[in-house]
Structure 1
Amino acid sequence: MPRSKKQTQEAGPSSGKRKAPSKKTSKQPVTYDDTKFETEGAWLVYKKDTSGRNIIPERRVLISDFANELLGHVIERNKWETFVATPRVAYVEIVKEFYANIHDNLENPEHPNYQQVYMRGQYISFSPLVILRYYGLDDTENNVFEAATTNLDEVVTSICQGIDHWPDGRSTLNYKTLLPQVRTLDKMVSANLLPTTHTSTVTMERARLLHWL
C-alpha cells in the first residue's frame, strides 16, 4: 500500500534555488519510492532523465560590477533585492525530484493538484501567486507571464540595435545585437532569473523577458 500523501504546503525558500550537482551526493534510487515520487512514471522520468542532468546554479549579482546605474535602478524599482542576494545552498536531489514530479495537468484548473507538485510526502503549491508573495512582490507583477506570448519582431525592435525582426531560421539572438542598457539587464537575467552559462547568445525566452523588463 502506498503511503498517504500529506496536505498541500506552500513553496518554501529552498524550492526555487539551484546548485551544480555533486557526484558524491547524487544517489539514484534503486526502486520506486512513493515518499519521493508521486507515481512510478515520475520515478522513471527521474531515473532516465533528470537524475543525470546538470543543474545551473544561480549566481550573485554584484551591482558594483556594472558600469552604469541602470541595474540598481531596476532592482530597486521592482523590489528584487531577494533575487540578487547571495543564493542559498540547494539540495540537488530535491531539485531533481521536483522536476521529475511535475505532471501534465499542472496548468489544468480542474485538476485536484493544479499548480502543485508532490515533494517528499506532501503536495507543494508553487503557483505564480505563491512565488510572488514569497519574494514580497505585488500581485500585479503577474503580467510578466504575458511576455511568453509577445510577438518576436516587437521584442527585437525594443531590445536590439540595427535589426527589426527575429533572424530567419534562428532560435537565438547574438548578444552583441542587444542595446547597451539591455546587455546590463541580460547579465542579471542570466545570473538569477533564467540562469545560464551560454551568455553569447540570447534565447527567445530570455529575449521576451528582457523586453518585458
Structure 2
Amino acid sequence: MKTVTSFEGYVPRIVQKFYCNIHEDMADPLSPFYQKVYVRGHIYDFSFLIIADFLNIPMVELDEFEKDYAIDNVVSKLLGDVTVLLDDSYALKSCELTYKYSGLHKIAQHKWWPTAH
C-alpha cells in the first residue's frame, strides 16, 4: 500500500480532493478507514506519525509547555482593570475586551477565522 510520502511535487487539485475525502472514521481505531485517506481511486496510509516522519519532526510523549498562568491573570489582561467573577456559566463577550484586544479580535474574525459567508 502506498503512503503519502511517495508523492513528489504539489498538485493543488489533488490536495483539494484529499481534503474533501477525509472520512469521518479516520480517527476511529475500529474502522477500516482508520488513518487512511482516499484520493483518486487509491487509499493511502495517513497518520500523524507519517506526517512527522515526512517533515522530520520529532515526536514527543507529553506536551513540553507548562502553563504558568492563572485564569484570573488572563482575564485581567484581556479586560483591563475590570473585575469579573468567573464561573462555568460566564461567557467572555467581545464588547468587554480592552480596545487593544477588541481590535485584535475584529481583525482575527475578518482575516483568519473561517466564516459561513
Q: Scaled by the length of structure 1, what TM-score is found? A: 0.32
The gaps in structure 2 that reach 5 residues or longer are 65-69, 80-85
Alignment CA distance shift 1:99-1:128 (3 Å): same
Larger radius of gyration: 2
1:168 to 62, 85, 92: 92
Please identify runs of 4+ aligned residues in structure 1 that moved more than 6 A. 164-167
Q: Which has the higher contact order (CA 8 A, sep 6+)?
A: 1
Q: Are the structure 2 counterparts of residues 97 and 109 from structure 1 closer, same or farther at C-alpha, using a change threshold of 3 Å?
A: same
- Between the aligned partners of 1:143 and 1:11, the Cα distance in structure 2 is 26
In structure 2, how many angstroms separate the alpha carbons of the residues matched to 1:13 and 1:200?
39
Shift of 1:102: 1.0
Q: Give the paired residue count.
A: 89
Kindly indicate whether the alpha-carbon contact (under 8 Å) linking 1:115 and 1:126 is maintained by their aligned counterparts in 2: yes
Q: Write the distance in 2 (CA, Å) between the matches of 1:142 and 1:10.
A: 26
Q: Specify the code of the residue in structure 1 equivalent to 2:26.
A: L
Residue 114 (str. 1) matches residue 34 (str. 2): yes
RMSD: 4.2
Superposed displacement of residue 132, structure 1: 0.9
Q: Is the 8 A contact 2:5 2:50 kept in 1?
A: no
Q: In the TM superposition, what whole-angstrom CA distance separates every residue of 1:116-172 from its partner, at most 9, and x where no partner exists? A: 10112322222111111111111217749xxxxxxxx85x93xx98227897245xx
Q: Tell me, which stretches of 5 or more residues in structure 1 are unaligned? A: 1-6, 16-88, 145-152, 178-198, 207-213
Residues 10 and 125 in structure 1, CA contact (< 8 A), matched pair in contact too: yes
Q: Which residue is 2:107 aligned to?
A: 200
Q: Distance in 2 between matches of 1:134 and 1:97?
A: 21
Q: CA deviation at 1:92?
A: 2.0
Q: In structure 2, how many angstroms separate the alpha carbons of the residues matched to 1:13 and 1:161?
A: 50
Task: Write the deviation string for residues 5-51 of structure 1: whole angstroms up to 9, x where unpaired.
Answer: xx3x2223869xxxxxxxxxxxxxxxxxxxxxxxxxxxxxxxxxxxx
Give the TM-score, by structure 2 length: 0.53
